[in-house]
Structure 1
Amino acid sequence: MIKKKSYLLILLSILLIFTTVPVNAANNITYNIKADERAYQYEWRYKFENGFVYRRLYNCTTQQWAGNWELVG
């Protein structure tokens, strides 16, 4: 009886190991969405000043700043 339980436990353990699906937590999902031609194009601009990194959002379509400088690190 004890051997049957141990065989059953081993069998269930093996089945559990081989039936689990590994999941990658760092999936990079990209969506192919056709952007509207009238949509604004933004990009981050960076500067290094006094050992600190700052970034500011820039509107490439209107060629104007879209925000203030913010400390990154």
Structure 2
Amino acid sequence: MEVLMLWLFPWIFQCVSVRADSIIHIGAIFEGNAAKDDEVFKQAVSDLNLNDDILQSEKITYSIKLIEANNPF
């Protein structure tokens, strides 16, 4: 498996929203050999941050954890 399917693991996402002009922090876990998926994730976050129609006063930050292939946690 090249990438752990993020939508199957909702517990790896953390959303912290405090007030307007807040920062929403999300996280993702990828296998170490999933460099392309890592870049797609970063680009998606960047696109969201640049789209004022989606996020008016919030900013998304992220953490990425790379793990070894076939790691069952």
Please say whether Structure 1 and Structure 2 have the same fold, judged by a TM-score greater than 0.5.
no
Higher relative contact order (CA closer than 8 Å, sequence separation 6+): 2
Structure ranking higher in helix proportion? 2
Q: TM-score, normalised by structure 1?
A: 0.27
- Larger gyration radius, structure 1 or structure 2: 1
Q: TM-score, normalised by structure 2?
A: 0.27
